[in-house]
Structure 1
């Protein structure tokens, strides 16, 4: 049975680098690309929270699917790739998805946003939280 690797994708350079690293680290694995919709996605300011209307969620899902299409072009064509979209806190959604027995995730490979100083203390680090809480191995690619 092939390994299943969860790779969170947010469109950042870090998540793209993590995907490339995952391909090198797990050449024969299946990938599950996960995008987490956040209440602040699409907000005019990063700290703003917008109302989640049906239209907003639909637009965010459409953006996520476009992101998946772009990312799939970077992955070797023979690799099995699934996609998933979750809502809520990124760290919690990643951990919950990986811990779901039905998902059968063997490991997580994710990017680091490189937060430091006050931002890290105030906002926390998604990668750090996932490393601490996930029940599967986590590789954080810089």
Structure 2
């Protein structure tokens, strides 16, 4: 199977840089087109702790834009071009939907995200994508 289109999912966390580095190295090696996706999911912090501060949509969008700037810088350093896309909704659903619509050949995702509770390590977005995606999933640990 050829991997000409790759989706790299990021969430704006510090860990996203590792996901980007790994995904872009694979993309460079395979000569793949890259889509970097960030999903705005207002209220996501409420899922991990109902008493926590929940960032507004505007704050989440700004985090996404900052994550895209970092992604573009990494891509430029590696001599790659990539397309960024901000989506809104439940992350695993939006990631898989985007992958299907763009006919990507592989999804690259981190094993953990912004949340540090056990249910979010591999029990959240990454696990749902791994279990339900019709596309191969590369998990960065």
Deviation digits for residues 1-26 of structure 1, max 9, x if unmatched? 97111001112233221111112222
Change (3 A) 1:50 1:38: farther
**Which residue of structure 1 aligns with residue 80 of structure 2?**
79
Distance 1:126 1:109 in 2: 12
Q: TM-score, normalised by structure 1?
A: 0.75
**Which residue of structure 1 aligns with residue 20 of structure 2?**
19
Deviation digits for residues 82-122 of structure 1, max 9, x if unmatched? 0111111111111111122xx121110111118xxx8328x
Distance 1:10 1:137 in 2: 20
Higher Rg: 1
Whether the 8 Å contact between 1:40 and 1:47 is mirrored in structure 2 is no
How many residues in Structure 1 have an aligned counterpart in Structure 2? 132
Change (3 A) 1:80 1:74: closer
Deviation digits for residues 35-72 of structure 1, max 9, x if unmatched? 000122687x85369999xxx54453333222211221
Moved over 3 A (4+): 45-52, 56-60
Question: SS of 2:70's equivalent?
Answer: helix
Are 1:32 and 2:35 matched, yes or no? yes
Distance 1:83 1:67 in 2: 10
Distance 1:48 1:94 in 2: 28
Q: TM-score, normalised by structure 2?
A: 0.76
Distance 1:88 1:31 in 2: 21
**Which runs of 5 or more residues in structure 2 are unaligned?**
none
**Structure 1 or 2: more helix by fraction:** 2
